[in-house]
Structure 1
Amino acid sequence: MKFRQVHLDFHTSEAIKGIGSQFSKQQFQDMLKLGHVDSITVFSKCHHGWAYHPSTANEMHPHLSFDLLGAQIEAAHEIGVNTPVYLSAGLDEKLARTHPEWLIRDQNEKTNWSPNFMTPGYHQFCMNTPYVDVLAAQVKEVVTNYDADGIFLDIVDVRECYCQYCVAEIRRRGSDPRQLSDMKQMWEETYFNYTKKMNDAVHDIKPGLPVYHNSSHVARGRRDLAHVNTHLELESLPTGGWGYDHFPLSARYAQTLGMDYLGMTGKFHLSWGEFGGFKHPNALRYEAALSLANGARCSIGDQLHPVGFMDHATYALIGEAYKEVEAKEAWCREVTAISDIALLSVEAASNDEGGTAIDENSKHSDTGAVRILLEGNYLFDVVDTQADLSPYKVVILPDAILITEQIQAKLAAFVAKGGKLLATGQSGLSTDGAGFAFDFGVQWKGVSSFKPSYFKPDFELPTLQNASFVIYSEGQDVELSAGGTALGSKENSYFNRDLFTFCSHQHTPSDLENSGPGMTEGPAGIYVAWNVFEDYALKGSLPVKEFILFALDRLLTNKTLRTNLPAQGVTTLQAQNGSNRWINHLLYASPVRRGQNVEIIEDIPVLRDTEVAIAAAEPVREVYLAPENTTLPFRQENGIVSYTIPQWSCHQMVVLQF
């Protein structure tokens, strides 16, 4: 996989003339060079349904007079740039008008994305219809006729559908569309049948050619869905609705799957389909560096103007990020993450057989946990129940991980070898209702009837004096068991806010009475009696974060990395075993809100005297800054390598050469 990709959208209406009329081979090449681009995804077919090349399997755009796809591939290959080829799989508006019976329908016969044909927008196809064979022929044509460096198929996933093809198929199987479990099974089979047909269409002609089926989300816990691809492209446009929390969560799961992957952001101010929108160069610099720090290659989204002229300002902007990536690549190839903590994803656990479905609240728990781990400068992976836990020291069970037999066996083996657990909320409770599956020094009594309630810690917070701290999320009533240690108490309010019992503007204060432990410790680890990760994702309360940092530091006595990097910083440690070195990545930027719910990175301050200490038993020969190749003074005592970075901004790599 290349490091510096551009994903060049080209969704172009038939109502626009002069398609590709200003395309210039020289100008196309000049912009790729300006942008330091080494791979560019170019279009065979767009969401409107048109081909951008002569086609018998499709129709060429009516206002295109030459083979644009072929010209782009020739121009790129001439200067050593790869060209994966894009085909819109789930959307084809031209065909939707002639074959509406092939579209996905809900139980009320509404279509999606657009609910009808009187609303501007696209309509999504069901892959349980003859459309799947039409699409396979289009893919086969491209792979046969063009020197594509990969195939990218978009807007596909396991989809709910009640079209008449699906209804007929479920009845042929002896069931009916009211049997949801049978419908879900058929929808799964429909998707895997689609992926097999497309992969066969590619690999029967060019075995091993990269193929990616894009759903815009890599589902945690669904390794079967991930492995229908040859690699992963993690779509995550921070200003496009994903936010800056999303990519680390996605990447730190992807890095456990043993697959190549890249992080896909955009040059846009907002998101896809935006013409004339630009983000600050510092934002792209940071986003590209965030990919590198998480073991990923980089992809930046752009959209080609209908006339085919590459925008100079866009490639100057992309070049600001990619010239830095180009200089850093040597330290970012074939790396594996070093991590102390495994965050068992709520989403992943819910995807297990027997797993509990994610409710509206617990869907935020993964995000809140990742935020706290990033802000606490911990080294961590996001894992599913199939992960090997032996490399980790602590496993976090955030808020809603009920313990099935499969999870019980895996975690019991982990604890038996000295590993520790941090469980919160209802996590750690057995699915059979027998209480906690592990000894946290506590017994479960039931869900608290008070919301919110309060935590009074028995320890001092680093930032605040001790108090009764409000926690807004659901709490649990528990009592200390033999051998357990209370680390703080739960306090209830006088009453919940109701019609005839309310106090002040929001919620009723604590009654200041101990109503049982709020945080406990036992042989298996620490338990916290609230959905604190959900709470942090939605409320961002400082005390909640500091409760969790206390618990983690108590469990993780031998941290691999310690640093004084500020809370908005990000640090990772990647092992490059082929070169016998570790690379410590440090990043810093502080997104601010502009407009309505748009996170912007503009100013990136210079950080000074950043201290890092890394546990490394093997003697270190040299520590230096990369890509500058500047030697950095260090000391190694008692298995700890310590150094101070005098001054840096945005992204700094520190190499520990053994």
Structure 2
Amino acid sequence: MRFRQVHLDFHTSEAIPHIGRQFSKQQFQDMLKKGSVDSITIFSKCHHGWAYHPTEANEIHPELEFDLLGAMIEAAHEIDVKTPVYISAGLDEKLTRRHPEWLIRDINDNTNWVDGFMKPGYHQFCLNTPYLDILIRQIEEVVRNYDADGIFLDIVGVRQCYCHTCVQTLRDAGQDPRNKEAVIALGERTYANYASRVREAIDAIKPGLPVFHNGGHIRRGRRDLAGMNSHLELESLPTGGWGYDHFPLSARYAQGLGMNYLGMTGKFHTTWGEFGGYKHPNALRYETSLSIANGARCSIGDQLHPEGLMDPATYELIGAAYREVAEKEAWCKDVRSVADVALLSVEAVASQKEEKREDRSGTSDAGAVRMLLEGKILFDVVDTENDWTKYKVVILPDQVVVNPQLAAKLNDYFAQGGKVLATGRSGLNEAGDGFAIDLGVAWEGENPYKPSFFRPHFELASLQNAAFVFYSDGQQVQLTDGTSLGHRENPYFNRDVFTFCSHQHTPSAQQDNGPGMVESRNGIYFAWNVFADYAGKGSLALKESVLFALNRLLTDKTLSTTLPAQGIVTLMEQPSERRYVNHLLYATPVKRGSGVEVIEDIVPLYDVRVTLKLDKPVKRAYLAPQMEELPIDEANGSVSYTVPKLECHQMVVLETL
């Protein structure tokens, strides 16, 4: 898998004339060179349903007069640029008007993405209808007729569908379409059948050709779905609704699956489908650096003008980032992460398999990742199938209810000396009436007061001792064999029409209402949904309380650094090269407009100190790609060094004996 990819959209209405008129082989090649691009995903079929090449399985765009797909493949291959081919699988607006009976319907018979036909937008097909046969023929045609380096199939996934075909399928099987579980199960079977048929069709022509099925999100805990792909493409456009916290969460899980993967961002100021929108070059520099710092290759989204002319401003923008990536690739291949902490994803242990649109902010997973990044804790995101024994601490964030299988895995982990940080409802049994694992506390019920207050029995790093308001759901617990590290305080009353105080909530009644943070032989329990609270509110007291607990459990941390809170640090090992690579990044996203985060200024940092405790002796350290030697200090089994200047991204390479 190549490092410097472009994903080139071309969703082009039949109402636009002169499709591809300005396409030039030379100009196309010049732009790829300007962008330092080594792979470009180009299009066979767009969301509007048109093909961009001669076809018998589809219809060529009515305003296109030549084989645009073939011309692009020829031009790219001539300069050693790979060409995966894009096919819109879930959307085909041309065909929706002819066969609306093949579309996904909700229980009220509404379509999606757009809920009717009198609004602009696309409508999604059900893959349990005859449409699947048409799609398979379109895929076979491209694979047979073109030298594609892979197939990218878009807008697919497990869906709930109440179309006439799905309803009849359930009834024919003796099932009730009003039973939601039956509908979800049919969605699972439909998607598995689709993926299987795609793989069989491709392998009959070009065995092993790479395939990726894009649903916009790699679902944590669904290894079966990930395994239907040859590799993973982690769609994560920071300005397009994903934000800058999303990619580290997605990538830290993907790396544990043992598959090749890339991080997909965009050149747009906002998101897909934006013409004339550009982000600052420093933003793409940071986003591509973030990808390689997390073991991923890079992909940048673009959209071609209908007349086929590649935009010079876009490829200069992309090139500014990719020229840097090209210099760094040697230290980013075949790496594995070094981590002290495993974050057990709430999404990965959710009992409901139904696919929902990913909540990209405000979740327990997202809040936990933000705290870990700011706290400079080395971490992976895991599911229940990962080997946890290599981690010093496993975090059970907020909502990890423990079934018997998970309890057994945790007890085995405890027996080998592992510790957990459990928060909120995490650790409770499936019945919700007590703890399934020993956390030094007995459960008494949910706290009826919200918000409530935490008074730590320790000093926070930045604040004097106080009763700190926590807005999330809390639990009432009592000690069994644990030690209280802080207690709960309830307000005088909840805010109500007849009992309210001040502008927001009632103050603490200043009484000890039981333990709020408890340390036991198996770890630390914190009685609130602190990670969801941090994702929503971002309170300093939340973060510093959690980091106190983690640092107490991590008695022998692998990494410590003076990098500020907004910086990101990762540590990768390249076993084949006998070296570690420490990535340091720093940029500060700012809010522009309504909820759009942008990076513009890169402020350099100086004299960033890093200390590592490694299991191998270090013989040499240097800055990459500059190849400048870096002095190291060794003491008490640790190696320390100072990075003289960090501007956006810096790698420190440590060669071992």
Judge same fold: TM > 0.5, yes or no: yes
CA contact (8 A) 2:586 2:646 kept: no
Matched ranges for 1:591-610 at <5 A = 591-610=589-608
Matched position secondary structure for 2:107: coil
Quick one: which amino acid aligns to residue 559 of structure 1? K
- Rounded to whole Å, the distance in 2 between the matches of 1:438 and 1:321 is 48
Q: Which residue of 1 aligns with 2:541?
A: 543
Deviations 1:394-439, CA, capped at 9 Å, x for gaps: 0000000011011111111111100001000010111134522222
Deviations 1:241-297, CA, capped at 9 Å, x for gaps: 000011000000101101000000000000000000000000000000000010000
Quick one: which amino acid aligns to residue 547 of structure 2? L
- Rounded to whole Å, the distance in 1 between the matches of 2:652 and 2:88 is 41
- Rounded to whole Å, the distance in 2 between the matches of 1:616 and 1:359 is 37
- Rounded to whole Å, the distance in 1 between the matches of 2:198 and 2:439 is 49
Q: Which residue of 2 aligns with 1:12?
A: 12
- Rounded to whole Å, the distance in 1 between the matches of 2:361 and 2:72 is 46
CA contact (8 A) 1:350 1:358 kept: no
User: Is 2:270 the counterpart of 1:231?
Assistant: no
Most deviating of 466-475 and 612-621: 612-621
User: Is 2:436 the counterpart of 1:437?
Assistant: yes
Quick one: which amino acid aligns to residue 514 of structure 1? D
Q: Assess, with a 3 A threshold, how the Cα gap between structure 1 residues 49 and 79 changes in structure 2: closer, same or farther.
A: same
Matched position secondary structure for 1:493: coil
Structure 1 residue 381, shift from structure 2 partner: 0.5
Quick one: which amino acid aligns to residue 569 of structure 2? T
- Rounded to whole Å, the distance in 2 between the matches of 1:278 and 1:514 is 54
Matched position secondary structure for 1:573: strand
Q: Assess, with a 3 A threshold, how the Cα gap between structure 1 residues 598 and 13 changes in structure 2: closer, same or farther.
A: same
Q: Which residue of 2 aligns with 1:643?
A: 641
Q: Which residue of 1 aligns with 2:384?
A: 385
Quick one: which amino acid aligns to residue 450 of structure 2? K
Q: Which residue of 1 aligns with 2:406?
A: 407
- Rounded to whole Å, the distance in 2 between the matches of 1:220 and 1:366 is 10
Matched ranges for 1:119-518 at <5 A = 119-351=119-351, 364-481=363-480, 483-518=481-516
CA contact (8 A) 2:362 2:536 kept: no
Q: Which residue of 2 aligns with 1:37?
A: 37
- Rounded to whole Å, the distance in 1 between the matches of 2:465 and 2:51 is 66
CA contact (8 A) 2:477 2:514 kept: yes
- Rounded to whole Å, the distance in 2 between the matches of 1:401 and 1:145 is 49
Deviations 1:483-512, CA, capped at 9 Å, x for gaps: 310001100000000011000000000000
Matched position secondary structure for 1:59: coil
Matched position secondary structure for 1:7: strand
CA contact (8 A) 1:5 1:298 kept: yes
- Rounded to whole Å, the distance in 2 between the matches of 1:198 and 1:439 is 47
Matched position secondary structure for 1:430: coil
Quick one: which amino acid aligns to residue 255 of structure 1? Q
Matched position secondary structure for 2:399: coil
CA contact (8 A) 1:489 1:516 kept: yes
Quick one: which amino acid aligns to residue 511 of structure 1? A
Normalised TM-score (structure 1): 0.98
Deviations 1:190-212, CA, capped at 9 Å, x for gaps: 00001111111111111111100
- Rounded to whole Å, the distance in 2 between the matches of 1:601 and 1:361 is 19
Deviations 1:355-380, CA, capped at 9 Å, x for gaps: 9x999999710000000000000110
Matched ranges for 1:27-176 at <5 A = 27-176=27-176
- Rounded to whole Å, the distance in 2 between the matches of 1:336 and 1:569 is 21
* Structure 1 spans left out of the alignment, 5+ residues: none
- Rounded to whole Å, the distance in 1 between the matches of 2:213 and 2:550 is 38
- Rounded to whole Å, the distance in 2 between the matches of 1:362 and 1:271 is 17
Matched position secondary structure for 1:512: coil
CA contact (8 A) 1:635 1:642 kept: yes
Quick one: which amino acid aligns to residue 308 of structure 2? G
Q: Assess, with a 3 A threshold, how the Cα gap between structure 1 residues 116 and 471 changes in structure 2: closer, same or farther.
A: same
- Rounded to whole Å, the distance in 2 between the matches of 1:76 and 1:50 is 22
Matched position secondary structure for 1:5: strand
Quick one: which amino acid aligns to residue 54 of structure 1? P
CA contact (8 A) 1:471 1:544 kept: yes
- Rounded to whole Å, the distance in 2 between the matches of 1:340 and 1:616 is 12
Structure 1 residue 352, shift from structure 2 partner: 7.5
CA contact (8 A) 1:36 1:319 kept: yes
Q: Which residue of 1 aligns with 2:609?
A: 611
Quick one: which amino acid aligns to residue 489 of structure 1? H
- Rounded to whole Å, the distance in 2 between the matches of 1:46 and 1:358 is 22
- Root-mean-square deviation (CA, aligned residues, Å) is 1.5
Structure 1 residue 635, shift from structure 2 partner: 1.6
Matched position secondary structure for 2:514: strand
Matched position secondary structure for 1:621: strand
CA contact (8 A) 1:443 1:479 kept: yes
- Rounded to whole Å, the distance in 2 between the matches of 1:314 and 1:239 is 16
- Rounded to whole Å, the distance in 2 between the matches of 1:366 and 1:594 is 25
CA contact (8 A) 1:395 1:421 kept: yes
- Rounded to whole Å, the distance in 1 between the matches of 2:468 and 2:82 is 55
CA contact (8 A) 1:346 1:358 kept: no
Of 577, 580, 583 in structure 2, the residue corresponding to residue 582 of structure 1 is 580
Deviations 1:150-175, CA, capped at 9 Å, x for gaps: 00000000011111000111011011
CA contact (8 A) 1:105 1:162 kept: yes
- Rounded to whole Å, the distance in 1 between the matches of 2:324 and 2:105 is 47
Deviations 1:512-561, CA, capped at 9 Å, x for gaps: 00000110011111000100001000000000000000000000010001
CA contact (8 A) 1:635 1:641 kept: yes
- Rounded to whole Å, the distance in 2 between the matches of 1:362 and 1:521 is 29
- Percent of aligned positions with the same letter in both sequences? 66
Number of residue equivalences: 655
CA contact (8 A) 1:280 1:601 kept: yes
Quick one: which amino acid aligns to residue 605 of structure 2? L
Structure 1 residue 182, shift from structure 2 partner: 1.4
Matched position secondary structure for 1:86: strand
- Rounded to whole Å, the distance in 2 between the matches of 1:539 and 1:21 is 51
- Rounded to whole Å, the distance in 2 between the matches of 1:343 and 1:66 is 52
- Rounded to whole Å, the distance in 2 between the matches of 1:572 and 1:73 is 37
- Rounded to whole Å, the distance in 2 between the matches of 1:282 and 1:361 is 23
- Rounded to whole Å, the distance in 1 between the matches of 2:600 and 2:576 is 37
